[in-house]
Chains A and B, each alone.
Chain A
Amino acid sequence: MTEAANNQGAGLAQFVRGLWEESPVFRQLIGMCPTLAVTAQMKPALTMGGAVIFVLVCSNVAVSLMRKLVQAHQRLLMFTLTIAAFVTVADYLLQAFLPEMSEKLGPYVPLIIVNCIIIGRAEACASRSGLWVSFWDGLGQGVGFTLGLAALATIREVLADGAWFGMRVLPAGFEKWNVMKLPAGAFLTLGILLGLSNHFLKKK
């Protein structure tokens, strides 16, 4: 019983760690391609976040289940194939239920296969921890990633369109910053956000 409680505590701690301390976007700087590519607006950013959470949790659980069966030298191949399978599932789910978003994200959904967060977590956590901890780790990292995407998308959408989730939030007289919609805006926003988070929040 105490062991189960312990386990539960460890799982929750792992979840919380993913939210900020080991946030993929702000701290580890991994998985940057989708971070930059799909954050021009909130909706695609959240769809992407949801897809990544799904794949991350499933692949972490699967990797954790097979960690004792897989030989060391084949593990990366096995992990990649597992991830590719789940990404295919996510891609087809999106096409079936959110065709509009699927169209908009285009090849960025299958590109989750090569998102460093997922293979990174499989290697760093799931391949050496139990089912429960791996599950919460996947969820925490996924939610942390989604929060990072949402922060970036909020700034970019408000400045580029004067809107949030497609709803107008700034007065009509607001001069739109077109650059925020463009790739340059993505790099600049993330660079400045990282600089700010380093300046104010980094532990001394």
Chain B
Amino acid sequence: MDLVVQLLLVLISVTVVNNFVLTKFLGTCPYIGVSRQVGMAFGMGCAVTFVTTLSGTMCWLIHHEVLAPLNMPYLKGISFIMVIAAMVQLVEMYLKKFFRALYEAFGIYLPLITTNCVVLGVCLFVVDVWKYAFLPGVAASFGAGLGFTLAICIMAGIRENLEWADLPAALRGAPITLITAGILTLAFMGFSGMIK
């Protein structure tokens, strides 16, 4: 029972309180780039969640079962990025086979998940900073993807309505998106301190 409570706390903490996009700035590029429509943002979020969960788990295993016993922490960066690239390839192949329309809608952004900072970020944070055990680590990896989905969907919803707003020309596009993100971050700060 304790374990379940702990896992839930980790999940909520990573998804809402320490949201990767809004408090750690990881994954800002797709957050600004792919957040034009809610449908696409949601699809992107699902793909990212899938990749973070798998690669977070794999990276934890590689770090604790291979790199740490062999005393080779310097290979961390290189091996993590390889794992992530492989996982993204997997998602790409899967989508191409079973969700052709979604695959074509993503275009270049799909292989770019490899360089999405959320993915490498969650691997590094789980292993280095938070030093979670295995199951909380998996929960945190899943939560990071979930948090990314949450943030990018909210942003897409706002931006769909922003299309109709009468903005000064200089603020159109990226600047107003960043300012919106700033205000959204202020809102999410209401959660801070809820869980360590």
Contact = CB atoms under 8 A, between A and B. Distances in A.
Nearest to A118: B115
B129 A187 contact: no
Contact of A110 (B27, B76, B181): B76
26 contacts: A32-B28, A36-B28, A37-B26, A85-B78, A92-B74, A107-B125, A110-B77, A111-B120, A116-B29, A119-B115, A179-B186, A182-B185, A182-B189, A183-B23, A184-B185, A184-B186, A187-B178, A187-B181, A188-B178, A190-B178, A191-B178, A194-B174, A194-B175, A195-B170, A199-B168, A199-B170
Given A81-B78, A188-B182, 4 more contacts: A36-B25, A84-B78, A88-B78, A191-B174
A196 interface: yes
Contacts of A9: none
B183 interface: yes
Contacts of B121: 107, 111
B176 interface: yes
A71 to B, nearest CB: 16
A198 B175 contact: yes
Interface string A27-56: 001101110110000000000000000000
Given A111-B26, A186-B25, A29 B117 contact: no
Interface of B: 22-29, 32, 74-78, 81-82, 85, 111, 114-117, 119-121, 124-125, 128-129, 168-171, 174-179, 181-183, 185-186, 189
Contacts of B178: 187-188, 190-191, 194
Contact of A191 (B75, B114, B175): B175
Contacts of A183: 22-25, 185
Interface residues of A, number: 42
Contact of A187 (B26, B81, B185): B185
A5 B102 CA distance: 50
A138 B29 CA distance: 21
A106 interface: yes
Contacts of A110: 76-77, 120, 124
Contacts of A81: 78, 81-82
Interface string A170-204: 00000000010011111110111011101100100
Closest 6 CB pairs of A and B: A191-B178, A187-B182, A199-B170, A191-B179, A188-B182, A195-B175
A77 B85 contact: yes
Scoring B26, B28, B76 by chain A CB atoms within 10 A of each residue's CB, the highest score goes to B28
A147 interface: no
A113 interface: yes
